[in-house]
Structure 1
């Protein structure tokens, strides 16, 4: 009999007009943990119930879990590459780690759908969680970022998007899952807008109006597009971004919520190292002179099939049922803070 293929969560859905990003921590104790586990079995039904009100609204929700809470909620085994968010850089140019056990990425073409679903999901969790960050994002004209450039131009699409974001048989038991990294950036728009368009284009690495990548002969090696292009085994390793602008003009707040999905955290971590430390060190992303990361989190996104099954997971029983065999050292991801995209050859890029 062929093995059943798990259904993925809505990672590869089209970009919508609105989104709500929520990060929460789970209260200590077995009762909150039981409540969160039970909630895992309710998520899909809540999305269907709210989405049915406006079938054309493209409502979806992706749920992810952080490293610190996985063992408490679900026990062993763990997703192979799930670990705490890694910080990069120093001083004000730093990718910071902030608390977060659960991520909700809610998307729709109408904010009322996002708002209603967020209300229902958080209401069902009650006192079991504390929301530590909530951002309401919007599509900005023709997918423009807050700094005025088109965002996500190089996103993979179709089958390629699935291949770059969905875990395969390299991590048995977690197939069709993904990893996601989120960061909230605040921008110095006064300083940014004081720059000439030509200077902005050299910082980003693309033309502002037409969204064409600058020629390699003129594009600086410290441009954002240069430092976020990652290769492994001679091929580009892509991630799927679904960034959204947000802000409060009356409060002088202008930001971008970065959210990147991949089948391993390594490509996104390498991008962050290139941006915040530099490639080589010191040749950092000059966009960070005008953008400051104020949050950071890494989460594992189980398949929709596994998410529902986690409602019945007994973390104590799970811990003794399976002892994951040691992987060969050559295939183990490097977890010492020194990244090596070459190790992605131990993680098949295509199924």
Structure 2
């Protein structure tokens, strides 16, 4: 089964579009989704070295509206997590379009072609243009994605396997747009920032367990199963910002074979593990959006009838 290009090297540019599908426009939108692969190839042909990729994810409610095929077994709406101080909000979204490439121009060109076809039938609820920052760092100054698995481990972490054979090669996708309080963050010393994250800022070295605060970002996102094996996701986060309005943030996007892995990480962050030790990074980064989507195999997007009801 042909998969969408989910596991890939970090891109230098990205666009994230979250859309809702207008009532009565389901068949038109479903038809456009079958064209995405060809449109991506057509734009890529103009700049063969661009490494342009497009991943389409579909939300739980939209899946039932767009397709006759059964819903992927673990697909459900994003569940809000209300912690003692901070909340992982759930926001509207039927479709996620994740574009990535070596340059922003081809992302923009493909987005323009997609929206020319989708535009009359959808509403854009969020649009973010991301960029790679120095040395793969986020705007807080720390390297992002250090814990990403690689090679076969990344494939195993991100792609659905034999547990749901109809959608083998697909992936569950969580997205959240975080805005940073840069003034409060920059008021901290580097040493205190490192305690918030759980890694050194310059060298990107994880703190020893005996020194790492229990409420650090790294501590709360390190998961193991009952056998002691790591439970991982594949992140493709991107910084974004608007200088004029002084809005700066990180677009979190995590691909995973089992959405409970990402959901456990989010519960640890917002509720704490143990309860009450919520992720201190949330004192400086506020979740503005939250959504869960399923990126089906490319063969399904090209021909949804390939999976029978």
Global fold match (TM > 0.5): yes
TM class, shorter-chain normalised? over 0.9
Which aligned runs of 4 or more in structure 1 are off by greater than 2 angstroms?
A: 89-92
Mapping of residues 198-347 of structure 1, within 5 Å: 198-233=191-226, 234-310=228-304, 322=309
The structure number with the bigger radius of gyration is 1
Change (3 A) 1:110 1:175: same
Is it true that 1:99 corresponds to 2:92 in the alignment? yes
Structure 1 Cα separation of the partners of residues 56 and 17 of structure 2? 10
TM-score, length-normalised on structure 2? Answer: 0.97
Asked if the contact 1:19–1:108 (Cα under 8 Å) also holds between the matched residues in 2, the reply is: yes
Match of 2:12 in 1: 17
TM-score, length-normalised on structure 1? Answer: 0.86
Is it true that 1:157 corresponds to 2:160 in the alignment? no
Match of 1:74 in 2: 67
The structural deviation recorded for 1:217 is 1.3
Structure 2 Cα separation of the partners of residues 75 and 232 of structure 1? 35
Structure 2 Cα separation of the partners of residues 248 and 92 of structure 1? 27
Structure 2 Cα separation of the partners of residues 221 and 43 of structure 1? 44
Structure 1 Cα separation of the partners of residues 56 and 139 of structure 2? 25
**Structure 1 counterpart of 2:36, from 43, 46, 56:** 43
Match of 1:27 in 2: 22
Structure 2 Cα separation of the partners of residues 69 and 304 of structure 1? 18
3-state SS of paired residue (1:272): helix
Mapping of residues 112-151 of structure 1, within 5 Å: 112-151=105-144
Change (3 A) 1:56 1:265: same
Which consecutive residues of structure 2, in runs of 5 or more, have no partner in the other structure? none
- Provide the alpha-carbon RMSD of the alignment: 1.2
Is it true that 1:58 corresponds to 2:74 in the alignment? no
